[in-house]
Amino acid sequence: MKIPIIFLGTSSGIPTSTRNHTSILLSYKSEKLLIDCGEGTQRQMRKAKINPCKITRLLITHAHGDHIFGLPGFFQTLALNGYEKTLYIYGPKGTKKLIENIFKVFILTKKIKFKVEEVKGKFLDNNDFTLSATALEHDIPTNGYVFQEKDKLRIHKDKLNKLKIKNHPDLGKLTQGKDIKIDNKTIKSKDLTYPQKGRKISFIFDTKLCPNVRKLAKDADLAIMEATFLSDSKEGDSFAKEYKHMTVEEACNTAKKSNTKELALTHFSQRYEFKEKLLSSIAKKIFPKTTIAKDFLTIEV
């Protein structure tokens, strides 16, 4: 089963004609995780044919406008469409007050059920995956996030076929490490299964380069990193330092040193609109498995 990740917005502080403010959707079985909700995100969902009422969890990296200005409209849309689930909202310190104020100021009719948690470390652990938050270094409290799928046992289909076993109700027990009996014959889990390592997907948005960036990216199957500026000019380096952002070169070098399998760059300054070829050329010289994200790009892990 592939894990699809769709980029709903890939700009930085100012949107452009081709890039909306930051937002990403990760889908896994019945879960749909929205990471940030910049201005215009719900319209991007419409264009991508995403039903907002399917979203189960919202992960907020930090409270800068380009990452949260879409929240009032998003919440109102859920309310008007009869959202029946409880929306779980996670973020750094200050998130509870932020959400409380949004509902106080903007959502005056028809509210939704929600639960807000200010998180650090592992904050969700279910049968399929864990979610964890790590502090980053920006000018306000900021989280990076990791989606970590759990390791699973899988059945060797060719071995199963040799035993001429099909659709037996106890087959699922083998993937739980349990032995089963079929026609008085013991089938051992260890003989018919193999381990499949869970996938790691990292979300590393607004931050200067710091040790926790590498920690989040380490061994990731896909690391999604901000790359607001280029280091090819003094101006780019200066802005990156002033506003505590990473450059394309810093993100790619981090991926290279962190055993990252694939890197997707996002959160680009408006100065690089229509310069994707330049961004890609510089990035791939450092880390060949780099994708320059654009709005509505889907990557499957």
Give the Cα separation of 35 and 259 in Å (integer): 24
| 66 tagged catalytic | yes
Which 8-state DSSP code applies to residue 271?
G
Alpha helices for the chain (secondary structure H)? 41-47, 65-68, 71-80, 95-105, 157-162, 171-174, 189-192, 211-217, 234-243, 248-257, 276-286
What's the burial of 2, exposed, middle or buried (CB within 10 Å: 0-12/13-18/19+)? exposed
Cβ 254 vs Cβ 216: under 8 Å: no
Q: Choosing from 66, 206, 221, 295, which is the catalytic residue? A: 66
How far, in Å, are 86, 93, 94, 164, 295 from residue 213 at the CA level? 31, 19, 22, 49, 24
SS3 letters across 60-72: CCCCCHHHHCCHH
- 8 A C-beta contact, residue 240 and residue 208: yes
- What's the distance, CA 229 to chain centroid? 21
Catalytic site residues?
66
